[in-house]
Structures are given as C-alpha cells and as structure tokens.
C-alpha cells in the first residue's frame, strides 16, 4: 500500500505552507494599501490581517510537523478504559517520549446514567494522544470481548495508515526508560512479535505489553473476532495458542520474577524500556504492606474523582506521613 506522507515540499504534493504563505502575503500587500487609501480599513486593521496570515502559517507548519509521525514505521496503541483513569496521564506522558504516533483506544463504558466526568479522563490527558478512538458499547464489559473489539477497530486503523509495526501498552502501564526502545526493537528483530511475558508451561502470552508486526497482531484479533466463544476466554491464552498454532516467530525474552507486575530489572521489558504495570503494582504493594506507587504517577482527576478524598491513600499522598498507610493496608480503601 502506498503511504500518504504529510511533509515533503518539493512540488510532489499539493500543499506547501511556505508557498501558500508567500502567495497570501503578496496578495494582501497588493490589496491592503488600496483599501486603506480608499478609507475602507485603517492601518491597524491592515496590520492585523498580515499578522493573522503569519499566525496561520505558523499553525500550518506546527500541525504538519505533528503529523510527520504518520510517516514513521512504528505506532503506539494504548488500549484503555475507565478503570485506568488514575494511571493514564503517566502512561501517555511516558509513551510520548518515544516520538511515535500515539493512538488512544478508549473503550466505551458510557452508559445512560453515567456522567462524562465519571467515564472519561481529563480532556488534557486525552489530548496527550495524537488521536482518540472510541468504539460502540459492548454487551460484555471486560478485558476479554470488549478488549477484542477495541483492538480490532484500532489496529485496522493503524494498518490503514501504513504502520508496519505496532507497540501496544495498556493504559495503566508506563515506560520509565523509553530511550531503551531501540534495544527492545532489536530483540524483536526479524521475529513477528515480542510479548511482555511468555510462559510455555502456563501457555500464556502477555498482552499488557506487545511489540509486533501490525499485520500479525491484527491477524490475532481477526481470529479472536471469528472465534469469540472457543474453549479459552483468556486473552493471554488465546494469543499464546494463536502464535503457537500459526507457527509465528516469537522473540526470546526473559520474564519478570514477579509475573510482570512489579518492577524487575532482570526482565526484558523492564530492563530495556522500564516497563511497569502500575495498577497491578499498586494492589501488590497494598497487599504486601508496602509504600504505594509514587505520587507523580497517580492522577487524582479534575475533581478528585480518582481517589477517595481524606481517605488513607489521599492523606498519604498529600502529607507523605506513613501513619496513614496503616488504614490503606488494613482496609484496602483508597
């Protein structure tokens, strides 16, 4: 498929913002003095017109520069939903450092009785992505069938845009070392996929972090769509079986000693890109009577909708006083 590219001003494409700006400025410089002389506008109005053209030109350059990421070989898709709201800001901020096109795949949990603030994250958080796609509501609201449709929609878009590779990171995960992505991509090499976990004994392929050929990962979800109700409802089990049965090339990697939930520098994904699953990590920290995930990664929300105001976790994050953690550990409340 021939890819559409957005920034080559060599006459090959229709729109060159520099040429357009020159045309507009010359047009106004010829016309405005005549309008001033005729008394139809004053000098201040003429200056505003020229200033507006400068602003438009700057906007064209900036916008086309932003879309230059569409010319890359790798796109990022972030499957997420309402439960990821406390972590999504940190996720997007970390992923944006890669410099790739970022597609936020926001699953639809918008019910008739739900307020927008209850369902969606802060609009400034969503604007961190290059694009946001929300599919229709599913009957099944879970990480299984709903996740399948979410990824199926969004991977089709990325394939249509022409990205040969895709990095998928769940919205409650972060990359603390995005600068290590080249090493992870080198591990993928000529293989079809590298998952954040691969376990032959458990017949398990991690789906919270996946780097793959776009066509291969889309093929998996196409298969999932056609076989929604087979013997395994586990997304990870389905992916493992799909890759094994299809004899796809899976890159060799080292699993986390903590089932990928807690940071483990020896695991491939954490060592290379600093991958962390914050949501699961928070639960483990609570169960283990340990300190919560760092405050900088927790988004309270516009009106503190992501945390219980004056609860143990709120008080700890606000004061740093460890005395508040006892309530968090004991009662499991935020």
Pairing mode of beta strands 101-106, 74-80? parallel
In a domain, 285, yes or no: no
Domain range enclosing 172: 73-277
Q: What is the pLDDT along the chain (334 residues), one digit of tens a residue?
A: 566 666 555 555 567 888 889 999 999 999 999 999 999 999 999 999 999 999 999 998 888 878 888 889 999 999 998 889 999 999 999 999 999 999 999 987 776 556 777 778 888 999 999 999 988 776 665 667 888 889 999 999 999 999 999 999 999 999 999 999 999 999 999 999 999 999 998 888 999 999 999 999 999 999 888 887 666 567 888 899 999 999 999 999 988 766 556 788 889 999 999 999 999 999 999 998 999 999 999 999 888 888 999 999 999 999 999 999 999 998 754 4
Are residues 23 and 136 part of one domain?
no
Are residues 237 and 108 part of one domain?
yes
In a domain, 35, yes or no: yes
pTM of the model: 0.88
Are residues 41 and 110 part of one domain?
no
In a domain, 49, yes or no: yes
Distance, CA of 25 to CA of 42 (rounded, Å): 18
Are residues 172 and 36 part of one domain?
no
Are residues 49 and 145 part of one domain?
no
In a domain, 294, yes or no: no
CB 233 within 8 A of CB 245: no
Q: What is the pLDDT of residues 285-300, one digit of tens each?
A: 999 899 999 999 999 9
Are residues 189 and 57 part of one domain?
no
Q: What is the pLDDT of residues 235-279, one digit of tens each?
A: 888 899 999 999 999 999 988 766 556 788 889 999 999 999 999
Q: What's the CATH code of the domain at 93?
A: 3.90.550.10
How many domains does the structure of the chain reveal? Answer: 3
Are residues 79 and 62 part of one domain?
no
In a domain, 214, yes or no: yes
């Amino acid at each position: 498929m021939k890819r559409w590219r957005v920034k080559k001003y060599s006459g090959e494409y229709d729109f060159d913002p520099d040429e357009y700006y020159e045309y507009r400025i010359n047009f106004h410089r010829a016309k405005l003095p005549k309008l001033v002389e005729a008394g139809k506008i004053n000098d201040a109005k003429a200056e505003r017109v020229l200033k507006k053209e400068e602003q438009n030109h700057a906007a064209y350059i900036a916008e086309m520069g932003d879309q230059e990421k569409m010319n890359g070989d790798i796109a990022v898709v972030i499957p997420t939903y309402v439960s990821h709201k406390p972590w999504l800001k940190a996720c997007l901020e970390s992923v944006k450092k890669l410099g790739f096109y970022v597609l936020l795949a926001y699953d639809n949990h918008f019910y008739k009785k739900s307020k927008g603030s209850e369902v969606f994250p802060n609009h400034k958080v969503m604007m961190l992505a290059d694009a946001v796609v929300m599919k229709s509501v599913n009957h099944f609201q879970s990480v299984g069938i709903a996740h399948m449709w979410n990824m199926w929609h969004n991977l089709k878009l990325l394939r249509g845009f022409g990205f040969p590779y895709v990095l998928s990171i769940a919205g409650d995960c972060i990359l603390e070392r995005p600068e290590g992505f080249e090493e992870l991509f080198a591990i993928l090499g000529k293989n079809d996929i590298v998952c954040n976990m691969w376990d032959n004994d458990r017949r398990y392929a991690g789906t919270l972090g996946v780097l793959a050929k776009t066509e291969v990962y889309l093929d998996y979800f196409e298969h999932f769509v056609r076989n929604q109700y087979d013997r395994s409802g586990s997304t990870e089990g389905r992916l493992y079986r799909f890759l094994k049965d299809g004899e796809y090339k899976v890159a060799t990697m080292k699993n986390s000693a903590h089932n990928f939930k807690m940071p483990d520098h020896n695991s491939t994904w954490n060592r290379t890109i600093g991958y962390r699953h914050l949501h699961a990590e928070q639960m483990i920290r609570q169960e283990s009577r340990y300190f919560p995930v760092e405050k900088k990664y927790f988004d309270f929300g516009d009106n503190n909708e992501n945390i219980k105001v004056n609860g143990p976790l709120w008080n700890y994050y606000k004061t740093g006083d460890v005395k508040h953690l006892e309530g968090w550990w004991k009662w499991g409340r935020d």
